[in-house]
Structure 1
Amino acid sequence: MTMTPSRYLSAKEACAELGIRPQTLYAYVSRGLIRSETGDQRQRTRQYYREDIERLRRHKELRARPEVAAEQALRTGDPVLESALSRIDDDDLYYRGISVSELARESTIEEVAALLWTGDRSLRIEEFAGEARLDRVSPALVAGLVPLSKVEQMQAILPAIGAQDPTAFATAPPHIHQCGARILRFMTLVAAAQDKTVSGIAQTLQSAWLPGRPETARLIEAALILCADHELNVSTFTCRTVASSGASLYAVVTAGLSALQGPRHGGATGRLEALWDEAESANSVGDTVTSRLKRGDVIEGFGHVVYRGVDPRAKILMELLEEAVPNSSELALAKTLIEEVGKRTGLAHNVDLGLVALRRTLGLEKGTALLLFCLGRIIGWIAHAIEQYQTGRLIRPRAKYTGPDPRHASG
């Protein structure tokens, strides 16, 4: 059995890993590049975070080989641009320095939108307080959307909403905040299949999906908050690139929705639902997992490139479900899946499992897990667009040419 590497390195190990002297190591610590903690109290030794040392080592290697730096950054998850929106640190997630655990339990989705868009969650964005009416957009268009999936409906209706929005091409506050709130509220109506908002976003969804169960609005709200931002995943990077061209928020969100529909991004919850169905009808959840591993299948809902342990978003969702519906059979199955997959792969559960567990525990329709992810992430897409507009820069990476040498290519 493979042993999990220690989270820390000794000073000697850190110096060997980086090829530096102890004095340089201490300088890195004083500059905040490497975190350290007290190790053996008796010997007064310190231990150093392995992830910080590995990140510095990769950075040094890339500086020595600049021709592969961009490719490595895009492929391995190294930073490619600056952002003040979300931070992933010590297997926790923060929005503008505030833990998502606190936000999911104490804030509304409107407050989190204000936090990500403006830096002040107490700021009141007027558009959130008004009434959104989908039936005033284009009744014929809305009626024609029925055969499409909810995400496709969102894409189709965005241009019509934008055509009626005087702030559609705003790129600076406060108008851009009003535009963002308008987009979010109308996308909520599409997800809820309602003509007008009830009050808040979570309450509108709850009244449509779970009428008569107002206590579930808090769980829906938490799920939206936990999905709001997560650095530069494929859809968010797409949104920043589109925003860098000066395109409107409506174009930005349309692009994000396109990226989200790819099976490697938004399709994970659907495949996890299939595994869940199989496990639910099998005699043994463990045998179901083993069978999938034997076939070489990816076990969706487990593992994440930026977390060594449990995805904090999944952890919070499971805790909230345990508090709200502790005796749910679907929640029990989720715990069994976590245990059986963990025993066989060492992988911890991620946000996809948390969303599907929420969907099934509350008895929501299939596809709702993706809808929650989508609605929450729209907030982050808008935040990244605002941040990108403020830079005034076009994202224009270069490609490393790998075709035939034009000096030797024949006509």
Structure 2
Amino acid sequence: MTDRAAPDDNSGATAPRRLSTRETAERLGVKPETVYAYVSRGQLSSTRVPGGRGSTFDAAEVDALARRTSRREPPPAPGDLVFRTGVTLIENDRYYFRGVDATELAREYAYEEVAEWLWTGELHPGVRFTAPDEALAAARVAVDALPAHSSPTDRLRVAVIAAASADPFRFDLSRETVLAGARSLVPTLVGALPPAAGGTGERSEEPEGREAGLARQLWSKLTARPADEPFVTALDGALALLIDHDLAASTLAARVAASAHAHPYAVVSAGLGVLEGPLHGAASGLAHRMLAEVLERGSAVPVVADHLRAGRRVPGLGHRLYRTGDPRAQALFALLARVPQAAGALAAAHDVIATTARHVPLPANVDLALAVLSVSSGMAAEAGETVFAVSRTAGWIAHALEEYEERPLRMRPSGQYCGPRPPQPLPAADGLSRRSAP
């Protein structure tokens, strides 16, 4: 193979010069692995060599990237922690995955396809994730050993640890190994969850189970109702919409773990640990309970009034990153509008929005849309948190892939000590030191 294309006999023109991976890395002054990281971030395009294993790159595009990356960027404002990322952009009340409108991706493609796009910058139509038998068996044993009252996030955290123990390659942080682990981890988490209360009581091993799309697999873990196609489509859309949202608290924790070169399972564990906080992952459960109360009482007025009287914010409304409304909520509402069984909960949500607007106009956020999905499909209040955690696992992996390419341990802030100034006397119990006591 030559790097320079032959002239076109018909036009006399010369095709754009193509560079090999090695030449591209040399021109950019990076490792070959970093070249593919640029591709996955959408900063560089590649073309597979026909019949070969390598890729070629447009020389002009490589030179343009070299000029951009060589520019000195302005330092962040004092006290700010800024990350370069090519995963998600939030701008002008929209959000984008690698430059593509995320709501359009979720409308057109399944969760697994969007996850692949987020990880690689390439679309793989019809891709399905499959859990390895050994990892799935280990995760199920660990999850089944938990107390019955354990939360879904408890089960997911334990499943991650069990899956990690079954993967001897977890410490290999090469890109392809991390991607292979990610494709198996997400379905392992879903497969380890027990069926929803009132369901069959057994985990399906039929094609409708493990070989089905991830949304259909997750459905039976969230509700005992039969899988209805419009509902499953809405669940799939919710999974795709929630994959990433820039540097949310759980994603920051995941990147800190990745900066220490923790393996991907540990990165996901870090994200899950933060997600369980009441200020991050539990919001959809609060919205679920509020929406169920609105349906029970027949109006949002008394429910909203009770929240305001108690000094509580109305859950599921407002988002500090969007002025005119959370695009994730708008997209999920549109999917739920096609589900006849969701009409009552959807009307209740709009009632909450209109009632609250009399006090202060706050558009819906994705937690209220998740609540419509969970309430109308007979799911538990915690179902939204489960959907969020399973979906966001792919986003944490995408950020880990970026962070593995950065200088390790770069996130080391300094503490501002505010305790007593030394020297202080040695503390003693009851006036005696431990060593002098009889």
TM-score, scaled to structure 1: 0.75
Q: 3-state SS of the aligned residue for 2:239?
A: helix
Is 1:291–2:293 an aligned residue pair? no
Is 1:371–2:373 an aligned residue pair? no
Q: 1:204 aligns with which of 205, 212, 217?
A: 217
Separation in 2, partners of 1:167, 1:283: 55
Is 1:141–2:152 an aligned residue pair? no
Letter in structure 2 aligned against 1:180: A
Q: 1:162 to 1:124 in 2, by over 3 A?
A: farther
Separation in 2, partners of 1:119, 1:283: 47
Q: 1:212 to 1:119 in 2, by over 3 A?
A: closer
Contact 2:136 2:188 in 1 (8 A): no
Separation in 2, partners of 1:334, 1:357: 7
Q: Name whichever of 215-224 and 248-257 sits farther off.
A: 215-224
Largest Rg, 1 or 2: 2
Q: 1:187 to 1:130 in 2, by over 3 A?
A: closer
Gaps of 5+ in 1: 1-59, 74-78
Q: Within 5 A, what are the aligned runs for 1:49-60? A: none
- Residue matched to 2:251: 236
Is 1:359–2:360 an aligned residue pair? no
Deviation digits for residues 21-50 of structure 1 (CA, Å, limit 9, x no counterpart): xxxxxxxxxxxxxxxxxxxxxxxxxxxxxx
TM-score, scaled to structure 2: 0.71
Number of residue pairs the alignment of both structures matches: 339
- Residue matched to 2:161: 159
Q: 3-state SS of the aligned residue for 2:380?
A: coil
Is 1:337–2:352 an aligned residue pair? yes
- Residue matched to 2:65: none
Q: 3-state SS of the aligned residue for 2:337?
A: helix
Identity percentage over the alignment?
Answer: 29
Q: Name whichever of 396-405 and 85-94 sits farther off.
A: 396-405
Q: 1:298 to 1:385 in 2, by over 3 A?
A: same
Contact 1:228 1:377 in 2 (8 A): yes
Separation in 2, partners of 1:85, 1:162: 25
Q: 1:272 to 1:111 in 2, by over 3 A?
A: same
Separation in 2, partners of 1:130, 1:153: 16
Separation in 1, partners of 2:217, 2:419: 57
Superposed CA RMSD? 2.7
Q: Could you tell me how far 1:282 is from its partner in structure 2?
A: 2.9
Contact 1:239 1:255 in 2 (8 A): yes
Q: 1:259 aligns with which of 259, 274, 294?
A: 274
- Residue matched to 1:217: 232
- Residue matched to 2:111: 109
Gaps of 5+ in 2: 1-73, 196-202, 426-438
Q: Name whichever of 239-248 and 107-116 sits farther off.
A: 107-116
Q: 3-state SS of the aligned residue for 2:171?
A: coil
Separation in 2, partners of 1:332, 1:370: 22
Letter in structure 1 aligned against 2:179: H
Q: 1:98 aligns with which of 100, 105, 110?
A: 100
- Residue matched to 1:84: 86
Whose helix fraction is larger, Structure 1's or Structure 2's? Answer: 1
Contact 1:114 1:123 in 2 (8 A): no
Contact 2:139 2:158 in 1 (8 A): no
Contact 1:167 1:178 in 2 (8 A): no
Q: 3-state SS of the aligned residue for 2:359?
A: helix
Contact 1:206 1:213 in 2 (8 A): no
Q: Could you tell me how far 1:263 is from its partner in structure 2?
A: 0.6
Contact 2:284 2:367 in 1 (8 A): yes
Contact 2:291 2:372 in 1 (8 A): no
Q: 1:177 to 1:100 in 2, by over 3 A?
A: same
Contact 2:139 2:188 in 1 (8 A): no
Separation in 2, partners of 1:211, 1:132: 26
- Residue matched to 2:405: 390
Separation in 2, partners of 1:232, 1:339: 31
Contact 1:243 1:389 in 2 (8 A): yes
Q: 3-state SS of the aligned residue for 1:128?
A: coil
Letter in structure 2 aligned against 1:88: I
Contact 1:330 1:361 in 2 (8 A): yes
Q: Could you tell me how far 1:187 is from its partner in structure 2?
A: 0.9
Q: 3-state SS of the aligned residue for 1:391?
A: coil
- Residue matched to 1:349: 364
